[in-house]
Structure formats: structure tokens, C-alpha cells
Amino acid sequence: MTHLQGKTVVITGASSGLGYEMARLAAKEGARLVLLARRLERLELLKETIESDCGVSDVLIYSVDVSNKNDVEKVFAEILSRCGQIDVLINNAGFGVFDYAHEARWEETEAMFQVNVLGLIACTQMVMPYMQARQSGHIINIASQAGKMATPKSSVYAATKHAVLGYTNSLRMELARDGVYVTAVNPGPIATDFFTTADPSGAYAKNVGRWMLQPEKVAKAIIQVIGTNKREINLPKWMNAGSIFYTLFPRVVERVGRKAFFKK
């Protein structure tokens, strides 16, 4: 018996990258998976792969845009009706666009907040009452090291991740009274197709390529802490140490690291 045996785990943004790897590992741990993303065809392929590789036959998939609150409410109502309960919610859906603040397009700014922040809150609000009533559950929000230390050309993206961390930290204290765990995940850059949208030029991915995390490693760290009262996951450790140093000595970090920060 594995630690997720029989648990219903909902993952948003599950069609590729980190979401894909978390889904695969959760299935191997015995979870009953519910996978959400906009791209239904990618979800169908993921469902086939997981059911074949992991010997399961009950992976549920839903096409949903988390920025649409009505769609979120409809889908989660159906999930709760079919599954009875949701034990774990992993809010993974999100995207970024790297632009200088004065060049940021309003439609992209609005879309990032709709998906990264409001979509995450909408999904969370759909599961909270049920977890509180059962006095158990785990909500995992994928934030970013950018939510701890902003850098040039990521002002809007960093702002959304700062918002995610603020929401998560408050939520953690509120739900602790009800026995519900809340974990923030703050990874550095991950080798996924995130950068296809964030930086079409490929410059940033090239500059930080040697430091990029592999999605399998991040996914493993997340799946391992499900069901434990883990406050945060910070990867890589050296980058998180930089974020802590920045909190203590912001002027020093901004002055010394200015040249490196502009490599986007």
C-alpha cells in the first residue's frame, strides 16, 4: 500500500511539464487521479499513458479553463458528485510572459492574474468547505522563487506569484484550525515548455539552462510531502538561500546581481 492509495488527487494544468510528472508519480502511489487542463487531446494522451504504465483504469480528465469561474464551479461539482470527496488539490495551472514593465500588454497582464491567481483561488474555494467539514485534506499551490525575489522583465509574473504566496500563507493559518494542510511550492526555472510562452526568443532558457530543474525532481518532492504538514518546498536550495539573503539585504543583492538579473 502506498501513501496515496485510494486518495482522490486533483491536479490543474496537468497536460504537460510539471503537471504531467506529478500525475504520473501520484498514480504510481495509488492515487485516484482527476486531471484538469485546457488541452483535452493532451489529457487524453496522458490518461492513456498513465493507465497503461501504472495499471490503473479510473483516471478522470476534464477540459477546463481555470480563469473561467463558471467552468471551474461546474467541473468541481461534477468531480465531487463522481468521487464523493477531494483529498488533495494541486493548483499547478499557470503561465508567464517575460516583458519589461513598460512593454507589458494589458491582455497578457490580465490573463496572468486570471489564471495564476484568480483561477487558483476559484479552485481552492471549491474544495475548502468539504475539507473543513471532514477535518482533513491537503492543498498544494505551485508558486515560484519569483514570488520571493522579483527580477527585471518578470514584473507581472512575479506579482502574480507574490499574490499566490500571500494567499497561501494566510490560507495555511486559517485551515490549520481544521486539520487541513497547505503547502507552497517555490521552484526556480524548470525545464518545461513554460519558456515557449514566457520567452519565445529562447534567450532566458539559454542563459539559465545549466541551473534549470528537471520536472521529475520537482514532482517527486511534491508527491512525497502529500499528507504531511509541510509549509514550503523550495528548489533549488541555493536559489532559495539567495531569496532569503535578498529579504535581509535587498540593496546588496540588487546591486551585485543586477547584471545577472537582466539576462532574460
CATH number at residue 99: 3.40.50.720
Whether 157 is catalytic is yes
Residue 2 lies in a domain: no
Q: Look up the domain containing 97 and give its range.
A: 8-261
Between CA 248 and CA 103 the distance in angstroms is: 30
Task: Tally the domains of the chain.
Answer: 1
The answer to the question of residue 145 being in a domain is yes
Least Cα distance to 48 among 33, 63, 38 occurs for 33
Domain membership flag for residue 141: yes
d(CA 162, CA 158): 6
For residue 83, which of 161, 6, 175 has the smallest C-alpha distance? Answer: 6
Cα–Cα distance measured from residue 149 to residue 26, given in angstroms and rounded to the nearest whole number: 30
pLDDT at 262: 74
In this structure, what DSSP letter does residue 96 have?
Answer: -
Dist. CA 71–CA 261, nearest whole Å:
38
For the segment 137-190, what is each residue's pLDDT rounded down to a tens digit?
Answer: 999 999 999 999 998 999 999 999 999 999 999 999 999 999 999 999 999 999
Q: Which one of the listed residues 20, 157, 167, 181 is annotated catalytic?
A: 157
Residue 3 belongs to some domain of the structure = no
Res 102: pLDDT? 96
Distance CA(96)–CA(37), nearest Å, equals: 16
In a structure prediction context, what are the per-residue pLDDT tens digits for the chain, which is 264 residues long?
A: 578 999 999 999 999 899 999 999 999 999 999 999 999 999 999 999 999 888 887 899 999 999 999 999 999 999 999 999 999 999 999 999 999 999 999 999 999 999 999 999 999 999 999 999 999 999 999 999 999 999 899 999 999 999 999 999 999 999 999 999 999 999 999 988 887 887 787 777 777 777 789 999 999 999 999 999 999 999 998 888 888 888 888 888 888 877 777 766
**Cβ–Cβ contacts within 10 Å for residue 65, how many?**
17
Place of cell 477546463: 64
Do the domain assignments include residue 139?
yes
- 36 phi, psi to nearest 5 deg: -120, 140
Residue-level pLDDT at 263: 67
The answer to whether position 1 is within a domain reads no
Helix%, strand%, coil% for the chain, nearest 5: 55, 15, 30
Asked if the structure places residue 209 within a domain, the reply is yes
Whether this prediction's pTM lies above 0.75 is answered by yes
Q: What is the pLDDT of residue 94?
A: 96
